Amino acid sequence: MADKTYTDAEVTERLARELPKWRLEDGWIRRTYKTASWKSTLMVINTVGHLAEAAWHHPDITASYAWVEVRLMNHHAKGITDKDFALAKKIEEVVQWQPGKEGEGLEGTPEKDQRFAYVRYDD
């Protein structure tokens, strides 16, 4: 049974509700993560790669020194499906995780020292 594909209007509405930092463009849902350096760019790519492999649903990734763009579209279904939304949510959850703000013992990456800068968080 084929995965249900969503119309552009359905995708746009769902992104606004569930993944507001993601956008629909050229048939893909996309998100650009800003990073602090090449090291953090590679760490984001590896994180996305791990999640994609575990999910067995693989995005396209484009990267530069201080950013990573993740693009999702179900190649088999030739459109956006629930698999794309599910993986996008997991990527968003993990890449945007800020343990220092949870107050559970993990301090998180030092924000003021550029030697240790990581993802440029949205909040």
Give the model confidence (pLDDT) of 94-119 as tens digits. Answer: 999 988 888 778 888 887 787 887 88
Residue 37 lies in a domain: yes
The 10 Å Cβ neighbour count of residue 6 is 20
Question: Which pLDDT score is estimated for 2?
Answer: 67
Does residue 49 belong to any structural domain of this protein? yes
Residue 1 has pLDDT above 80, yes or no: no
Residue 52 lies in a domain: yes
Its domain, for residue 84, covers 24-97
Token representation of residue 16? 């606004």
Of 8-12, 13-17, 31-35, 36-40, where does mean pLDDT reach its minimum? 36-40
Question: How many domains does the chain contain in total?
Answer: 1
Using the CB atoms, write b or e for 24-52: b if 16+ within 10 Å: beeebbbbebebbeeebbebbbebbeebb
Query: What pTM was estimated for this model as a whole?
Result: 0.91
pLDDT tens column, 26-52: 999 999 999 999 999 999 999 999 999
Is 6 among the domain residues? Answer: no
What's 80's domain CATH number? Answer: 3.30.1360.20
**Per the domain annotation, does 3 fall within a domain?**
no
4 in a structural domain = no
Q: Is residue 5 part of a domain?
A: no
Cα separation, 20 vs 37, in Å, equals: 25
Indicate whether 16 belongs to any domain: no
